[in-house]
Structure 1
Amino acid sequence: MQDVQAETGHMYNLEATPAEGASYRLAKSDKERYPKIIASGTKEPFYTNSVHPPVDAFDDLFQILEHQDDLQAKFTGGTVVHLFFGERIKDWRMVKELTRRITQRFRLPYFSFTPTFSISPVSGYLAGRHDFDPNAQTEEDLENYGVDVEMSPEEVAKLPPGSYKVVPSSEEKREEKNDLTFKLN
């Protein structure tokens, strides 16, 4: 791009723009034209915004930094690499040291530290990803906020005590499967 700028005397910007509005429409159109194309999602295809890999594509933050470094450094604007953490970082010195190491080893212009958390209508903030509130719930909380989920006895055994209650399922479901329906928050 610098060669073209020098040749033409014009300034150019290679912007990494988010594509949230077009991500579903373009992925759906591409799937219809090219059924074997890879897109995120299962029944409803979508593309991640800009050139970001899916959130769960890397387990190690240095893997995503190495993967994205050359690509992100080509942009002159609108670029960011989101580094997702499974929990809140409690010690600011850890963030300072991590920032120092990233800026010394990589050329990418912008990055963000993003802790993963969940919000429960009963308990509020929960550090990390939770599909249901792991804390014990009152009968009233389960009635107001719980959802019916069919689970095997093995799955239920892994749940924290008090975070669910057994709800009778219809006779047809009970005969088809030996699963019970549980209300989770």
Structure 2
Amino acid sequence: MTRLTLPSLAALLTLAACDAPADGPVQDPEPAERLATGPLTPAGPAQTVTADADVNLQHAAAVVELDEIQGQGTLTAKLFGTAGGDPAMNGLYVHAAFFLSPAEGWRVFRIGDVLDYRVLSTGPGRVELEIDESVMDPETSEIGSRTRRMILGWAPGAEGAPPETVTVTPAQ
């Protein structure tokens, strides 16, 4: 029979802790792991859902990207992109939005028409973005692409109210 001494038991527990999952949210299993459990089977009657006739949902359905802007104090801010332009020449309309109130909704600023955007960093009153966009050569009418950076800035209004204007500054 093997006997564990107190020092050996402590070492064994230390090694075991190295494999313990970190505290935090439980992750959904990878799709392959979910498939390994087999397909779902009905567990009750199906409910039929009809299309929602709210005209405002047409605008919401066009949203294809959404980024909350953290670290703005009491100001609620986000960037979002809507599809709707010519996909051969950009087509992602990028907006910054600041929440006014439940009755007034959002104050929205259109930032540009691009192929894609990435948030590089955020800070109070500032978002640094990298933009991919289509550009047309005026001499040849050929469409090319470029990547550029910009700083989206604003100053909150009195008592943290949403800004009246924003600035878009080219950056390196």
What band does the TM-score fall into relative to the shorter chain?
under 0.3
TM (norm. structure 1) is 0.20
Q: If you compute each CA radius of gyration, which structure gives the higher value, 1 or 2?
A: 2
More strand by share: 2
TM (norm. structure 2) is 0.22
More helix by share: 1
